């Protein structure tokens, strides 16, 4: 089959890797680098050369099973990373690092702050009580309602839960409050964030994420066209026609959309009602990422500095303000501290700025989470397949799982063997693609599709279902404070 892939993030690259041996691929990438949010920047300094990750940074040994299996297939070396989370509040002067007892009380004043003790009590109560919400099947409350109904204190909400969740999802603090509570709690539970001891080991790709990108795409690098944004996609009964900015239109048998949902919908010349509804349910927000060496956004006290550092400004900020300390995360030894800060860019010394990048993140509203379940209603119809981390929790494992699901559904497309993609009935999560159910038991029932796909050691995921599945969905991040 002649297949076009739109986008080279983890989802597009994984789809390419799985399908390249069996199909004639053309991969369109709007940007100048392969990898999307996997974006390593090389910086030359008088004291050395550093490969710094500005987007995707970490994964872990618990909730990234398919991504890690992929890296193992490719012999990509990983190194242990330290994950810790700090908060610095300009208004109250509070600083703490949840990674250790020393960090929690980096500021002696915290010992005598009743509000700090209240926050710690609420953290322990939340860790204990919140999982009960997962026992029911109903939709459950939004996070803000859950916190109010259960009388969680302001300190816990404003200095712990919302900063941590906003940092994890790079989301606006207000948006986090409107996220379904079950979604967040399930995620926290899967990632050991509701426990003091039961934490996964966090990992980074040695030498930066570029190392895995190179290996993942080595077999089809010549099929990737950089700086070639797709501007429209038209699906007819016998072909897909793709237009890019500067070249004549080209036709394909099928198209895999691996750009974000809003970008994908904007490309469709002929969206169906279902595509409009489902893709239109996902919202994305913009974050300015700045790579720099200005440490003023980090906590003032050394012991409070963590891998992830949340900054609460005196004026309520609309967007998340978080600084990743790359020296800690990537284990970089250098005489200066390399940081990536999301959003408070005006506070950074312009002379210390090495690079600015604009990223878009999915917003997980109730509507978006519901739309994830409807993936089978559009995937595989009209010669079109949809992948991207936004079909899950928004992290690398989700990107891989969505690509596996697409590869599996494509393998069931008769055109892959003989005929016409339009006769493909949609893949139903949990049925055909062998998706994971809510328990680990279901994993053993997830054979890779009989396809094409050289994914023997990977378990196919299915968007919609993977939300919180396998007790192990992806993501990256901060450890909960160790009270």
Ligand X SMILES: Cc1cc2nc3c(=O)[nH]c(=O)nc-3n(C[C@H](O)[C@H](O)[C@H](O)COP(=O)(O)OP(=O)(O)OC[C@H]3O[C@@H](n4cnc5c(N)ncnc54)[C@H](O)[C@@H]3O)c2cc1C
Binding site for ligand X (CB under 6 A): 6-12, 28-31, 36-38, 55-59, 170, 229-230, 258-259, 263, 267, 289, 359, 361, 388-389, 394-396, 399, 474-476
Q: Which CB atom, from 66 or from 459, has the smaller least distance to ligand X?
A: 66
Q: Which CB atom, from 143 or from 268, has the smaller least distance to ligand X?
A: 268
Q: Which CB atom, from 131 or from 229, has the smaller least distance to ligand X?
A: 229
Tokens of 235: 């699906």
- Please enumerate in sequence order all residues whose Cβ is within 8 A of that of 299, keeping only pairs 6 or more positions apart, or say none: 86, 88, 95, 97, 106, 305, 306, 309
Q: Which CB atom, from 120 or from 344, has the smaller least distance to ligand X?
A: 344
Least Å distance, CB 6 to ligand X, is 5
The β-bridge partners of 202 are 60
Q: Which CB atom, from 292 or from 303, has the smaller least distance to ligand X?
A: 292
Least Å distance, CB 278 to ligand X, is 16
Least Å distance, CB 104 to ligand X, is 24
When computed from its CA atoms, the radius of gyration of the chain, rounded to whole angstroms, is 22
Q: Which CB atom, from 329 or from 427, has the smaller least distance to ligand X?
A: 329
The Cα 314–Cα 92 span in angstroms is 8
Q: Which CB atom, from 120 or from 203, has the smaller least distance to ligand X?
A: 203
Least Å distance, CB 393 to ligand X, is 9
Least Å distance, CB 360 to ligand X, is 7
Burial class (CB in 10 A: 0-12, 13-18, 19+), 128: exposed
Least Å distance, CB 28 to ligand X, is 4
The answer to whether the CB of 196 falls within 8 A of the CB of 120 is: no
Least Å distance, CB 388 to ligand X, is 4
Q: Which CB atom, from 38 or from 378, has the smaller least distance to ligand X?
A: 38
Q: Which CB atom, from 74 or from 144, has the smaller least distance to ligand X?
A: 74
Least Å distance, CB 4 to ligand X, is 10
Least Å distance, CB 406 to ligand X, is 12
Least Å distance, CB 118 to ligand X, is 31
Angle ∠(358,406,243) on CA atoms, nearest 5: 60
Residue 294: closest CA among 356, 341, 329: 341
Least Å distance, CB 281 to ligand X, is 16
CA 366, chain centre distance (Å): 18
Q: Which CB atom, from 299 or from 388, has the smaller least distance to ligand X?
A: 388
Q: Which CB atom, from 107 or from 309, has the smaller least distance to ligand X?
A: 309
């Amino acid at each position: 089959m002649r297949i076009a892939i739109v986008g080279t993030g983890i989802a597009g690259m994984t789809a390419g890797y799985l399908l390249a041996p069996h199909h004639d691929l053309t991969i369109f990438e709007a940007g100048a680098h392969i990898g999307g949010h996997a974006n390593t920047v090389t910086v030359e300094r008088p004291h050395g050369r550093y490969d710094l990750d500005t987007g995707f940074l970490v994964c872990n040994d618990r909730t990234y099973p398919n991504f890690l299996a992929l890296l193992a297939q490719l012999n990509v070396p990983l190194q242990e990373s330290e994950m810790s989370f700090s908060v610095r509040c300009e208004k109250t002067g509070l600083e703490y690092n949840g990674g250790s007892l020393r960090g929690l009380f980096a500021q002696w004043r915290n010992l005598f702050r009743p509000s700090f003790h209240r926050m710690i009590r609420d953290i322990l109560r939340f860790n204990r009580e919140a999982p009960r919400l997962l026992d029911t099947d109903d939709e459950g409350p939004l996070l803000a309602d859950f916190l109010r109904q259960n009388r969680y204190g302001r300190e816990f909400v404003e200095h712990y839960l919302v900063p941590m969740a906003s940092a994890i999802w790079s989301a606006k603090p207000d948006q986090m409050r409107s996220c379904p509570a079950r979604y967040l709690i399930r995620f926290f539970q899967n990632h050991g964030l509701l426990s003091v001891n039961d934490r996964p080991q966090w990992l980074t790709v040695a030498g930066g994420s570029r190392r895995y990108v190179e290996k993942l795409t080595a077999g089809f690098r010549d099929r990737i066209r950089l700086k070639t944004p797709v501007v429209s996609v038209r699906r007819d009964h016998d072909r897909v026609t793709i237009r890019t900015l500067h070249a004549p239109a080209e036709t394909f048998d099928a198209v895999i959309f691996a750009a974000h949902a809003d970008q994908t919908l904007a490309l469709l010349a002929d969206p169906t009602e279902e595509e409009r509804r489902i893709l239109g349910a996902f919202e994305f927000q913009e974050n300015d990422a700045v790579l720099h060496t200005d440490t003023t956004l980090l906590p003032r006290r050394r012991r409070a500095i963590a891998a992830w550092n949340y900054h609460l400004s005196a004026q309520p900020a609309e967007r998340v303000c978080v600084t990743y300390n790359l020296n800690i995360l990537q284990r970089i030894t250098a005489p200066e501290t390399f940081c990536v800060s999301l959003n408070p860019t005006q506070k950074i010394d312009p002379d210390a700025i090495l690079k600015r990048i604009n990223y878009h993140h999915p917003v997980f509203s109730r509507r978006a989470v519901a739309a994830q379940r409807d993936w089978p209603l559009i995937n595989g119809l009209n010669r079109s397949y949809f992948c991207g981390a936004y079909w899950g929790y928004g992290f690398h494992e989700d990107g891989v799982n969505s690509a596996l699901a697409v590869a599996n559904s494509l393998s069931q497309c008769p055109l892959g063997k003989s005929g016409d993609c339009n006769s493909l009935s949609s893949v139903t999560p949990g049925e055909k693609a062998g998706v994971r159910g809510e328990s680990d038991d279901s994993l053993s029932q997830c054979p890779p599709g009989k396809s094409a796909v050289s994914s023997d050691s990977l378990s196919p995921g299915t968007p919609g279902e993977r939300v919180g599945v396998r007790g192990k969905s992806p993501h990256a991040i901060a450890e909960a404070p160790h009270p």
